[in-house]
Amino acid sequence: MIKPVGSDTLQPLFVYDTDKHHALMHEAESLPSVIISSQAAGNAVMLGAGYFNPLKGFMAVGDAMGCAENMKMSDGSFFPVPVLCLLESVDAIGGAKRIALRDPNVEGNPVLAVMDITATEQVSDEQMAVMTSKVYGTTDPEHPGVAAFNSQGRVAISGPIQVLNFSYFQSDFPDTFRTAVEIRNEIQERGWKTIVAFQTRNPMHRAHEELCKMAMDAVEADGVVIHMLLGKLKPGDIPAPVRDAAIRKMAELYFPPNTVCITGYGFDMLYAGPREAVLHAYFRQNMGATHFIIGRDHAGVGDYYGAFDAQTIFDNEVPADAMDIEIFKADHTAYSKKLNRVVMMRDAPDHSKEDFVLLSGTKVREMLGQGMAPPPEFSRPEVAEILMSYYQSLD
């Protein structure tokens, strides 16, 4: 099986030992504590689940700046984005060096992790601007990722953490949320050697389904891990339970048995385009995938990124030895009326726009909201039914 990034074995920060876990939970109740931001909570969950291997906790500002500027920490190790815990104030924890981090997304703010603070630093406006610009490619406050990143405080606490729970992801999505450890175990149990990973924050239409099949055929994969984001999205995106139901129905009806593993991870979407694509590849290697699909406008939003910037960043900016996972570069996929099947548009040079079934996301949402199923060339009828039910429930 493919090795994790930066180590021979996965080193998740979740405390699995029952006695240690119990002792830490007991200790945490007497420690000074702080409620962290949703973005920091997502980072803690990813650290606990092994996706951010081999990081040991939250970065100091110097490491975060290095990751933003050239995807390298001060010791030279590769990581594509800053992993910070930013607070408005450290008044609640005073000068404590060992604290409890509390969950902002669960009622009662339970303890998420115990942290040993190695540094407390003020982040300057200039440093925030540099990190924002480098990671998101813009400082526009209208960009949802930029807005979320900059809505946090300006005091960075750094140091190793021990993770004690996976926030709401495990309880809200018991059939879907999986750690990198669990996915590796499942891949091993299934006997898969070559594994394609597919990222989604949306339901999957025909083009997505066929893209997974094309990638599997091209690399002779044993299976595909459909790995959906379960954290916070921007307004208007379809909630995770609806996406989950639609994807499971598609996989059940339209993929051969034992070729699909449907899972999810606990993280808030960054909408950081190319940089987020690199992060996605990074943690897909950690979960055991050998190949990762990156298509048109991967992890993008609005018009902030070029259609294929998320592919070219791997050629132009990511060091060749940074990761072992291979990128499957996909073009825009659409149903060809000429060929009666879904194709990558670059593979059909003799086609005009009229030869494809092309529908905008807006048009599809309008149709679904009106109880109209998109054409079967665009969406499987069983998937459309689930989505229609959701959109009509909004009225």
Give catalytic residues, as residue numbers.
Answer: 201-202
The alpha carbon of 224 is separated from its chain's Cα centroid by a whole number of angstroms, namely: 16
Nearest to 82 by CA among 61, 112, 109: 61
Half-sphere exposure of 78 (CA within 13 A, CB side): 18
Closest to 169 measured CA to CA, from 279, 263, 277, 271: 263
173, with CB counted inside 10 A (0-12, 13-18, 19+), is: buried
- Pairing state of beta strands 98-102 and 33-35? parallel
How is residue 63 written in tokens? Answer: 């490491």
Cβ-based neighbours of 320, under 8 Å, separated by 6 or more: none
The pair of three-digit structure tokens given for residue 287, joined into one six-digit string? 């979960």
The DSSP bridge pattern shows strands 223-229 and 195-200 to be parallel
Report phi then psi at 357, rounded to 5. Answer: -90, 105
Whether the CB-CB separation of 193 and 222 falls below 8 Å is answered with yes
For the chain, the first-to-last Cα distance in angstroms comes to 48
